Structure 1
Amino acid sequence: MSTTEPSIFTRIIEREIPASIVAENERLIAFNDIAPKAPVHILVVPKTPEYANVAELAAGNPALLAELVSFAQTIADEHGGEFRLVFNTGEKAGQTIFHVHAHILIGNLGEDPRADFQ
């Protein structure tokens, strides 16, 4: 049995911490980020804490990853269509909560999203 504390996401899933929930199904929950980096910034989180990052999720449950991406697309469609879907994997990449989650970002981010790839 693990002695680690549940992540903030697990506590939101269990309704111990309030969140502005946007959508939910049996396996996923989506809610507004409390520190948005875009006009629309929604997190999509699997309800299982089993996977720390997207690489673990892809290896361990690719069907859940596919469902997460489809769920994100549906949410994005309801909020304007075009979007970024971002997974931070590892502390050096900006991951601060080690319960896999995706960021849906819609709208002006104050930067050229292609700049990193030029």
Structure 2
Amino acid sequence: LSFRNLAALASRWPKSSHRLLEAAAAAARPAAYSRGMSDEVAKARAAAEAAHGDLNKPTIFNKIISKEIPAKVLFEDDRALAFSDVNPQAPVHFLVIPKVQIPMLEFAKDDDESLLGHLILTARRVAAEQGLNNGYRLVINNGSDGAQSVFHLHVHVMGGRQMGWPPG
């Protein structure tokens, strides 16, 4: 029975059965699949609890934007900031953030279309400056289930090594 078939069966079960199924699936996964994830998941859950529903609270990224906290800045303009990740998951790992706080991608408005495009183009520009000519990965974690640990929209850019698939 594959995970896909199991998921199809589970969709017909009561919600109370889903937790048991998720626990069984997690136990069956290879260790390499989940290695390193528990810390990020724990951080994401802690961040969601700390927000207490107020996702517009200032974050550490606001302090980086205002220069209250130092960061290795790779690019900055009036709309975006790119800086090295303090906990790199690849030889090159940086974040691109908007200077205005959008807590999560799902809270972006149609008016943010230009800004969101600017973040992606900034990621491309900085990736080229960092020598990521053989490819790189862009990741946006959204919400606690997506392992978002800082509620200020940010794009992770990772490269400098062969990326695996599936990513999560």
Q: TM-score scaled to structure 2, two decimals?
A: 0.61
d(CA) in 2 for partners of 1:70, 1:53: 19
Q: Which has the higher strand share?
A: 1
Q: Which has the higher helix share?
A: 2
Cα distance change on mapping 1:107 and 1:56 into 2, 3 Å: same
**What's 1:52 paired with?**
103
Secondary structure of the residue aligned to 2:149 is coil
1:63 pairs with 2:114: yes
Structure 1 or 2, whichever has the larger Rg, is: 2
Counterpart AA for 2:58: P
Report if the CA contact (8 A) 1:57-1:64 is conserved.
Answer: no
Q: Which runs of 5+ in 2 are unaligned?
A: 1-53
Secondary structure of the residue aligned to 2:78 is coil
Query: Stretches of 4+ moved more than 6 A in 1?
Result: none
Matched length: 112
Counterpart AA for 1:47: K
d(CA) in 2 for partners of 1:71, 1:8: 21
The CA deviation at 1:45 is 0.6
**What's 1:94 paired with?**
147
Cα distance change on mapping 1:105 and 1:58 into 2, 3 Å: farther
The CA deviation at 1:92 is 1.4
1:78 pairs with 2:143: no
Q: Aligned Cα RMSD in Å?
A: 2.1
The CA deviation at 1:58 is 5.6
Q: Deviations over 1:52-99 (max 9, x none)?
A: 122322645111000110110011111223110100001111100000
Q: Which runs of 5+ in 1 are unaligned?
A: none
